[in-house]
Amino acid sequence: MPARDHFHSLMQIGPVQIGTHRDRHGQTEHAAVCTADRCGWSSDFTSQTAAQLAARTHRCKIR
Ligand SMILES: [Zn+2]
């Protein structure tokens, strides 16, 4: 996973952190990142609602 500049963590849902960052076009993107070791799941969303939904439905293989 590439390092994210200016990543601001907003909330945590289970093992998943949701934060915002700017993409290369200067738009705010909402990123959901699983903090569990060896999971490595992360995804970008255009809305915080979508990121929260993905965080809640993320099924982490690492328990
Ligand atoms: Zn996970």
Q: pTM of the full predicted structure?
A: 0.76
CA distances from 21 to 13, 27, 48, 55, 61 (A): 18, 8, 11, 17, 26
Q: Please give the distance, rounded to the nearest whole angstrom, from the Cα atom of residue 43 to the centre of ligand 1.
A: 11
Residue 14 lies in a domain: yes
Q: Please give the distance, rounded to the nearest whole angstrom, from the Cα atom of residue 13 to the centre of ligand 1.
A: 11
What would the pLDDT profile of 7-62 be if each residue is shown by its tens digit?
677 899 999 999 998 888 988 999 999 999 899 999 999 999 999 999 999 999 86
CA distance 55 to 47: 13
Q: Please give the distance, rounded to the nearest whole angstrom, from the Cα atom of residue 52 to the centre of ligand 1.
A: 14
Residue 23 lies in a domain: yes
User: How many domains is the chain built from?
Assistant: 1
Residue 2 lies in a domain: no
